[in-house]
Structure 1
Amino acid sequence: MLLSEKCVSAALVFFFSFLLLPRALSQLQQKQIDSLLNELAKAKEDTNKVNLLRQLGNEVGYTDPSKALRYALQGYELSQKIKYEKGIGDMAYLAGILEMDMGNFNVSDSFLNISEKQFRQLNLPGQLAKIEHARGVKAYKQGNYWSAADFFAKNVKIFEDINDSSSALIAYQSLIAVLGQIKNYEKAIELSKKALKVAESRNDSLSIGYSLQTLVVDLMYAGRMNEAAEYLPPLRTIADKTIDQNLAAESYSALGMYAFKNKNFSEAIIYFLKALKKAELLNDKYQMANHYNSLGQAYLEAGNLNGCRESLLESLRLAREYQNKRAEYNASLSLSSYYKKINDFRSAYEHLLHYLEMGDSILKDETRNYTTYLEASYEASKKENEILRLRQVQQEKDYEIKRRTTFLFIGAGLITALTIIVYLLRRDYRNKQRLIKQRSALLEEKVKTIEKEQQVISLQAMINGQETERTRIAKDLHDGIGGIFSTVKMHYSTLQQDTPLIKENPLYKKTLDLINSAADELRRVAHNMMPEVLMKMGLTEALQDFCNNINSGKLLNITLQAFGMEKRLNSSTEIMLYRIVQELINNIIKHAYATEALIQINREQNRLSLIIEDNGRGFDTKEAEEKRSMGIATVKSRVDYLNGRLTIDSRKNIGTTVMIDLLINE
């Protein structure tokens, strides 16, 4: 029952996609693609770069259509920039077929229309024929096979007339795909064998691969399994070696189909999985739906019911997402068989009913398409007869027709001129509006940047002022009041020498202790405001000294870890980091009720990270932000001064971690 209704083959689509190549299709090795990339990196903004981008887009498209599309769009923009008319047509064509390969038909139509306009202006009939071929592929993918066959048959003749054998071979391949789709297998087999001979004579590996693939599939559908088996070894070799992921997927699918029809289900599963993997590399959901259905049927026959169900449901999902009616039709029938197998007759009936509904829908579409094709053919025939009649009338009434033709040309010219003027005015208006919006956006961005710079300048000025004032006060305390305390202590000590008995006076002893305590407190305050060790020895030594002072109080044990801090930072950065640590440790002492804290500072080249952790009671960071805590606000302002990033992670009864990351300006 495998593929009881033949699904649309993507081989045609990917095969036609690289028609712009000026030679027969071949498979470049990666080193040759790398060579093109090296040339591209050195290329100037000229036509040569456009041609390199076109060639890269064609070659990369075998394995990565999305990357190929980026090359096509880059070449299209460059062609517009340098006003390279043929380049605009070539790159628009390449973008159009790549968009079609990925299922974006509307975008594809837009690019193909642009390409057609350019090629008509340049009078390039061969390129125009390729655009018509692309439109035939669109009709094919949308199920309008009769119209597609008409396109491809005409393409064959045009390409042969202009001696473009490479493109003619591709058109033959497309026509063969249509013949297989409308079940004219014998004719498809006949043409496939001819195409294979031509491809072999040209030593065109890709054409050989696609010819073998379509030939094997059509032979199997025609029931000629023994003959199909003769072509399997070369097809298997091509599937394993080709860089064209689509050709590999289609070839593995054909090999799996052959194994399935011979009831070798384990081998069929292996090939279908390979086909699916290749289709996934291309993100071709259209073909993935078909491969999942084939895989699901193989799993069903092999007795792997879980694999069967997952594969068939995925096939149905992808088919609906991509509007692949044929795949949805096949998946519904396969799911009906699965549910029947597990005795879920209700689900089996529902999917069988959906299968019949889809069959009716497909039949209606095919009937409508065929009717449309016949109507178009009839209208074309009518037009040809009308042309003959008009020629006869023209011979009889030559003057009248010439006069009317003149008026028509004048009218058409006026209408065209008016249309162009309106278009240009509208385009100019849109460009002006776009420029106004861009200028407004740039102005707003500039204002924001200036405001931010002003905020940074203000913050820097404020913090620099604070540090300057701290330094001044610390110096005044140390040199001024500190000196006074030293003098008082000296005089007070002299007093006990002059009056020995005063040492026994308790008030004297108490006063001496207070003088010593006040002097120590003064030195501690001056040290905290501007540690002398920070200025002389650097940040690491200052932090270690700070930790030692805290640890001596026995209330909090602080561990300092410093990595990569052999080289000193600039003084302003060291001061800021010291103040940040000082503020955070003071907050831990005041609020956290912690017993252990860790300060870790790590420098890697021009990047520095500071982490401070404690095992305290933690706090609600959101609540602290809403209350605008002064301590956190002070730390944040200093981090902003250093253009750093502050992160606070606090959990109640577990502790708090503060992380600061910044770049160092040497």
Structure 2
Amino acid sequence: MPFLLLVGYSFALAQPQQNFADSLQTALTQTNDQKQKLRILAILTEVVAYRDIKKASTYAQEALNIVSVPKYKPYETIAFHSLGFIEYRKSNYPQALKWLQKAEEAFNSVTDSLDISHTYKKMGMVYTRLGKHPQALSYHQKSLKIAQARKDQRGISATYHAMANVYYFKGDYDQSIRYFKESLKINRLLSKTQNRQDAIGSLLNNIGGLYGEKGNYFQALEYFHKSLKIRLKTKNKPGTASCYYNIGEIYQLLAEYNKAIGFYEKALSIRKDIGEKTGVIECYNSLGATHNKLEQPSKALTYFLQANKIAQGIQNKGELGRSLVGMAEAWMSLNAYSKARNAFEKSLRLSQQIGQKALVAKSQVGLANLLAKEQKWQKAIEYGMQGYALAKKIEQKNTIKLAAQVLAEVYAQKNEYKKAFDFLTIFKNTSDSLINAENIKKVTALESQKKYEIEKQKQTLEQTQKEALMKAELKQQKRLRRSAIFGLSMSFLLVLVILLFFYYRYRVQQRQKWNQALKNQEQLKRNAVITAQEAQQKKIAQELHDGVGQLLVALKLNLEAILKQSQGNQSQKPWENAFQLLDKITNDVRGVSHMAMPNLIKSDGLVMALEHLMEKTFGYHTIAYDFEHYNLQEKYIEPLEINMYRIIQELISNVIKHANATKVSLQIYQVEEVLYVRFEDDGQGFDVQTMTSSGVGLLSIGSRVDFLAGDINFEQEENGGMVVNISLPLKQPMHLEVKDGRLAA
């Protein structure tokens, strides 16, 4: 029984796919650059195809419309690739191959090598599904060479993942495990600097599936549960459903059908919730197959019918064929031969169309079995021989066994006893082979369980010993700590005094050097200072406009009151107010000086600075927040980073002051040469026309966006709340010039 192996995980980011798709959709509507739009459409096609194939098809068609314009014809590779991927998701592999071959032919010097690398990888995936494993490995090797040349560790990891799938479908499980583990090793290294938890969870899930295929069921369960732990921690619902589904497959193999049904239903519930239609079909088909094994054909039929309906809707021909075979078998058990024949015939036509040989053989043998029950001997022989020959060619033993059994019975009915005996012998030999294989799996499972339990006991014993040693060591450390603490304290004080002495001497020497240097440079700097004052005064005025200006007005009013009262009875209250206001002004000036330059940007970069800002602002606040970023560079030019930081800072301030929100969401991502920002809150919203014309804070945001040659858009949600979308080009205008070896405003 095949487990759910994920073919790739290019978009398994640390974020919900729906949010990512929404962000891409926003970027798509905001750009007028057709080349950039083509790139976004290609990404959207692959992200959306896993849950809504019809919508993904519209994206692929839109990409094709763009490259139909002569000006964009050199970029045909991207559009053809997307159309090939759509056909792949529909299980229409011959048509998928045609589009991908066109993408390969259209590749030229204008197209990025990453595009052809992705095409090679998809061609390998298609050849895998067509059972042409040498061709699949050849194309994956081409993709791997490009990724290695680019030193693209994520690309190398993804190609190893795809190659592992080839060996899985080829039946070489040891090689498949090897490549999955190579991919896992790379992702664990990448996880030190990137969020790769979803990719690691995917690989653990796949390795578990392979151990299940080998009959190491308890080792498989161990990997599935490791994957499940990561998926639950990262709140990855598709991954969680995949783990539940595969655990159900293990329990079905162990003939623990009720447990299997429980896990299938957990997977089904999640997949319904997130709208993952392909996964829903898989669950319905597996539930139907399990109820068939429990000899509950009526209940099995309800699941197969639901799977069939959804599969037709999303054009998933592979799962549609699987549901048709399951329905036919259930109807045969219910003696509804006419309906069974109709389902088998549909499955046969469909499987021949998409090139799924295993399903073709199963449908042919199923028809032969049905025709034998109806005593249509000649037709039964025709279909039975066809199914037997194909099943033998692809080494599908269960189908060979059923075909031989049907043919032996039919030839016996026709009094052709020699042929009946020959097929009865084939039936017996195949049955013995399957029994031996099943016994080997059971023995392997028992050995795996024993080894697993011994390892657990060993780990428990080692943990107990470690805890005992740690307790003894802690007691010893406490005694040593008490005896050494006085000496360490005195040593520390002595070192501190010495350091202070040398530091004082160093400061005196440095001050003398600086005074001399300042005298020499004073004349040279005077002109530069005069020029810089104008820009600095403007910046200080912008920072101080909210607090200090109002406080100075209030101080003036208090001083006027004092002046008036000095002519009559004097009072101390105005003086007290004046001093309080002066203290407030002092605190505000100090706060602004700290805010003048966010040093964390220089040391750790924009992302760390923003994470610090969000945590500092909302960490102890009633407002919940989430911050997502992807495809960002480690560093950008200084004016871009500082102004971006100021923009986010002002948006957060507006939310706290005006929005009355309970949740804030910030997304930042880069597509080609454009940086996109999406800031969203669920507050009470505001009148954009009024606020942008009168709000100094929003005018400040607009000024900074204009300074960076970007665009800003405010949208008020129907149910309240505000969404701010900002796009900033990375190719900055000429007013950002090079000074002292770096870009500065």
Task: Tell me: CA distance 1:349–1:375, structure 2 relative to 1, closer, same or farther (3 Å).
Answer: same
Deviation at 1:164, TM superposition (A): 2.0
Q: Which residue is equivalent to 2:733?
A: none
Contact in 2 for aligned 1:46/1:82 (Cα 8 Å): no
Q: Which residue is equivalent to 1:208?
A: 280
Q: Which residue is equivalent to 1:133?
A: 205
Deviation at 1:212, TM superposition (A): 1.7
CA distance in 1, matches of 2:384, 2:310: 28
Q: Would you say 1:177 and 2:249 are equivalent positions?
A: yes
Q: Of the candidates 351, 356, 379, which is equivalent to residue 423 of structure 2?
A: 351
Deviation at 1:79, TM superposition (A): 0.9
Q: Would you say 1:189 and 2:261 are equivalent positions?
A: yes
Contact in 2 for aligned 1:146/1:369 (Cα 8 Å): no
Q: Would you say 1:219 and 2:291 are equivalent positions?
A: yes
Q: TM-score, normalised by structure 2?
A: 0.45
Aligned with 1:303: secondary structure? coil
Which structure 2 residues correspond to residues 454-465 of structure 1 after superposition, within 5 A? none
Which structure 2 residues correspond to residues 446-457 of structure 1 after superposition, within 5 A? none
CA distance in 2, matches of 1:148, 1:270: 38
Contact in 2 for aligned 1:296/1:312 (Cα 8 Å): yes
Letter in 1 for 2:149: K
Contact in 2 for aligned 1:319/1:327 (Cα 8 Å): yes
Contact in 2 for aligned 1:332/1:354 (Cα 8 Å): yes
Letter in 2 for 1:197: S
CA distance in 1, matches of 2:216, 2:392: 19
Q: Of the candidates 38, 41, 46, which is equivalent to residue 78 of structure 2?
A: 38
Q: Of the candidates 82, 87, 90, which is equivalent to residue 155 of structure 2?
A: 87
CA distance in 1, matches of 2:316, 2:120: 19
Structure 1: unaligned runs, 5 residues or longer: 1-7, 399-666
Deviation at 1:199, TM superposition (A): 1.5
Task: Tell me: CA distance 1:358–1:275, structure 2 relative to 1, closer, same or farther (3 Å).
Answer: same
Q: Would you say 1:245 and 2:312 are equivalent positions?
A: no
| Residues 458-492 of structure 1: per-residue CA shift (max 9 Å, x gap) | xxxxxxxxxxxxxxxxxxxxxxxxxxxxxxxxxxx
Letter in 1 for 2:430: M
Task: Tell me: CA distance 1:55–1:113, structure 2 relative to 1, closer, same or farther (3 Å).
Answer: same
CA distance in 1, matches of 2:465, 2:252: 45
Task: Tell me: CA distance 1:330–1:304, structure 2 relative to 1, closer, same or farther (3 Å).
Answer: same
Deviation at 1:99, TM superposition (A): 4.5
Q: Of the candidates 219, 230, 240, which is equivalent to residue 168 of structure 1?
A: 240
Q: Of the candidates 373, 380, 385, which is equivalent to residue 445 of structure 2?
A: 373
Aligned with 1:250: secondary structure? helix
| Residues 320-377 of structure 1: per-residue CA shift (max 9 Å, x gap) | 3333333333333222222233233444344334433433332332222222232233
| Residues 615-655 of structure 1: per-residue CA shift (max 9 Å, x gap) | xxxxxxxxxxxxxxxxxxxxxxxxxxxxxxxxxxxxxxxxx
CA distance in 2, matches of 1:141, 1:385: 26
Q: Which residue is equivalent to 2:393?
A: 321
Q: Which residue is equivalent to 1:601?
A: none
Q: Would you say 1:28 and 2:28 are equivalent positions?
A: no
**Percentage of identical aligned residues:** 16
Task: Tell me: CA distance 1:147–1:276, structure 2 relative to 1, closer, same or farther (3 Å).
Answer: farther
Aligned with 2:53: secondary structure? coil
Contact in 2 for aligned 1:192/1:214 (Cα 8 Å): yes
Q: Which residue is equivalent to 1:655?
A: none
| Residues 231-262 of structure 1: per-residue CA shift (max 9 Å, x gap) | 45433323434333321221121222233223
Deviation at 1:62, TM superposition (A): 8.4
CA RMSD after TM alignment: 3.9
Letter in 1 for 2:391: A
CA distance in 2, matches of 1:62, 1:232: 23
Deviation at 1:97, TM superposition (A): 1.4
Deviation at 1:88, TM superposition (A): 0.5
Letter in 2 for 1:343: N
Task: Tell me: CA distance 1:143–1:95, structure 2 relative to 1, closer, same or farther (3 Å).
Answer: same
CA distance in 1, matches of 2:213, 2:348: 19
Q: Which residue is equivalent to 1:17?
A: 7
CA distance in 2, matches of 1:52, 1:353: 48
Q: Of the candidates 137, 140, 144, which is equivalent to residue 76 of structure 1?
A: 144
| Residues 570-617 of structure 1: per-residue CA shift (max 9 Å, x gap) | xxxxxxxxxxxxxxxxxxxxxxxxxxxxxxxxxxxxxxxxxxxxxxxx
Number of residues paired by the alignment?
Answer: 389
Deviation at 1:56, TM superposition (A): 8.7
Q: Which residue is equivalent to 2:169?
A: 101
Contact in 2 for aligned 1:176/1:188 (Cα 8 Å): yes
Q: Which residue is equivalent to 2:404?
A: 332
Letter in 1 for 2:112: E
Deviation at 1:92, TM superposition (A): 1.8
Q: Which residue is equivalent to 1:234?
A: 306
Q: Which residue is equivalent to 1:386?
A: 458
Which structure 2 residues correspond to residues 47-58 of structure 1 after superposition, within 5 A? none
CA distance in 2, matches of 1:324, 1:145: 22
Task: Tell me: CA distance 1:388–1:254, structure 2 relative to 1, closer, same or farther (3 Å).
Answer: closer
CA distance in 2, matches of 1:174, 1:346: 45
| Residues 388-420 of structure 1: per-residue CA shift (max 9 Å, x gap) | 54566668999xxxxxxxxxxxxxxxxxxxxxx
Deviation at 1:168, TM superposition (A): 1.7
Letter in 2 for 1:265: Y
Contact in 2 for aligned 1:236/1:251 (Cα 8 Å): yes
Contact in 1 for aligned 2:125/2:166 (Cα 8 Å): no
Q: Which residue is equivalent to 1:4?
A: none
Q: Which residue is equivalent to 1:308?
A: 380
Aligned with 1:17: secondary structure? coil
CA distance in 2, matches of 1:298, 1:235: 23
| Residues 51-101 of structure 1: per-residue CA shift (max 9 Å, x gap) | 687689879988999898787555333211211001110122023214423
CA distance in 1, matches of 2:167, 2:325: 24
| Residues 125-153 of structure 1: per-residue CA shift (max 9 Å, x gap) | 54334333323333444566565455445
Task: Tell me: CA distance 1:69–1:182, structure 2 relative to 1, closer, same or farther (3 Å).
Answer: same
Deviation at 1:229, TM superposition (A): 4.1
Letter in 2 for 1:318: L
Letter in 2 for 1:314: Q
Deviation at 1:272, TM superposition (A): 1.9
Contact in 2 for aligned 1:245/1:281 (Cα 8 Å): no
CA distance in 2, matches of 1:31, 1:69: 31
CA distance in 2, matches of 1:378, 1:148: 14
Q: Which residue is equivalent to 1:364?
A: 436
Letter in 1 for 2:78: N
Deviation at 1:47, TM superposition (A): 5.4
Contact in 1 for aligned 2:205/2:223 (Cα 8 Å): yes
CA distance in 2, matches of 1:306, 1:33: 48
CA distance in 2, matches of 1:359, 1:176: 26
Task: Tell me: CA distance 1:384–1:215, structure 2 relative to 1, closer, same or farther (3 Å).
Answer: closer
Which structure 2 residues correspond to residues 508-547 of structure 1 after superposition, within 5 A? none
CA distance in 2, matches of 1:150, 1:389: 20
Task: Tell me: CA distance 1:217–1:392, structure 2 relative to 1, closer, same or farther (3 Å).
Answer: closer
Deviation at 1:162, TM superposition (A): 3.3
Structure 2: unaligned runs, 5 residues or longer: 18-47, 65-76, 82-106, 471-745
Letter in 2 for 1:84: D
Deviation at 1:214, TM superposition (A): 1.6
CA distance in 1, matches of 2:356, 2:171: 9
| Residues 553-581 of structure 1: per-residue CA shift (max 9 Å, x gap) | xxxxxxxxxxxxxxxxxxxxxxxxxxxxx
Q: Which residue is equivalent to 1:609?
A: none
